[in-house]
Chain A
Amino acid sequence: MFINSVRGLDNLFQSEIPAGSVILITGTEGTLKSSLAMNLISNYLLSNDNHGLYVTLEESVESIIRNISSIGFKHSDNLHMFDYKDIRNEWGDRELDMVDLTENVINFYREKCDNLTIFALDSLNALYTFTNQANLRKDMYNFFTLLKDQELTSFLIMESNPNSLIYEADRMGWPEYFLSDGVVMVGIEEVNDRVRRYIQIKKMRATKHKMEKHQLVVDDQGISVLGPLY
């Protein structure tokens, strides 16, 4: 059960996230997007015999593990992590079709592990950078279709740009927002002179959930969801 994978997440959900959903985790820099995804997936995999794949395009696997190990992260042996550091070092970002490449990485682990049901991509922004902009919508549609066809519950991390005034309105036109089944937003907000982290479920198809921003706290036991922010 995903809603039991992070303490207090059941404050937000009244029913389980359907298997095979494609979920965006979005927020500005430093809002725990990767840590939240990693905690969710790893804790989920510790409770069953499924396998998961976490693909990182920019950060190395070592760097991600170093960052999250300080916040009570328990690594599941069934969580396979793959970074593109060596590929990018050797191929120099030229001739790389990241969408096709990522599909092949998924296929490899799919064949290697009998029960690969979870996928995470960190980040969608990086994937866009390496995708031919002329074919972006088509490539993204194909990529989302691949994830859905393979029935992978997928977490796609996407960094939002706080400086873009048109971002809030503009992003609804971006393909990932209507192609995804769920949008989870994480952020930082000042409430009564106190700075607090929050999580908000903007959208989750076929799931009963609350819409309010809930406080997100992080300590050496990991990430927890508390009550509503206001």
Chain B
Amino acid sequence: MFENMRELMDQSATIQKEARDDLAYYLEKSIKSNLEIIVLSMLMECPMCGYDLIKDIFEKYNVFLSQGTVYPLLYSLKNDGLLQAQFARGNTRTKIYSITEYGEDIVKGKINDFIQVEEYILDIIR
């Protein structure tokens, strides 16, 4: 009896762990495929450097992104004119990224489009 209980508890723990792993996997996949919009919305809220972006994404979503994923995206968005970079005050080793004047409306439009599409999908699958 006791052994059966232990087996059931072990099975339950395994299923819960697998469910958590699945959730973490989908979350990470979703963050990566929507990274541009996540980064833009975070920078819209608060200008920051690549290090702080990675740290904030980890704190918010528990997903650690490689520097090799985030920095090329920042450079690409800067090349597209959506972001600008300037050194932090008194620190020439840290570049702070913010939305440009040109990029502001484009970024707001992108965020709105994203929200609408996500809500549309959620309405259908709920």
Contacts and interface: CB of A to CB of B under 8 A. Distances in A.
B24 to A, nearest CB: 19
Contacts of B68: 100-105, 107-108
A80 B125 CA distance: 40
A108 B73 contact: yes
> Size class of B's contact patch?
10 to 19
Q: Is the interface of A mostly helix, strand, loop or mixed?
A: helix
A112 interface: yes
Contact of A90 (B51, B72, B76): B51
A205 B112 CA distance: 53
B66 A86 contact: no
Contact of A101 (B49, B66, B73, B75): B66
Interface string B54-90: 0000000000001111011101100000000000000
Contact of B50 (A86, A105, A108, A109): A86
B75 A87 contact: no
A82 B74 CA distance: 12
Contacts of B50: 86-87, 90
B95 interface: yes
Nearest to B72: A108
A133 interface: no
A109 B76 CA distance: 10
Given A91-B67, A108-B76, 8 more contacts: A86-B95, A96-B67, A105-B68, A105-B71, A105-B72, A108-B69, A108-B72, A109-B72
Interface of A: 82, 86-87, 89-91, 96, 100-105, 107-109, 112
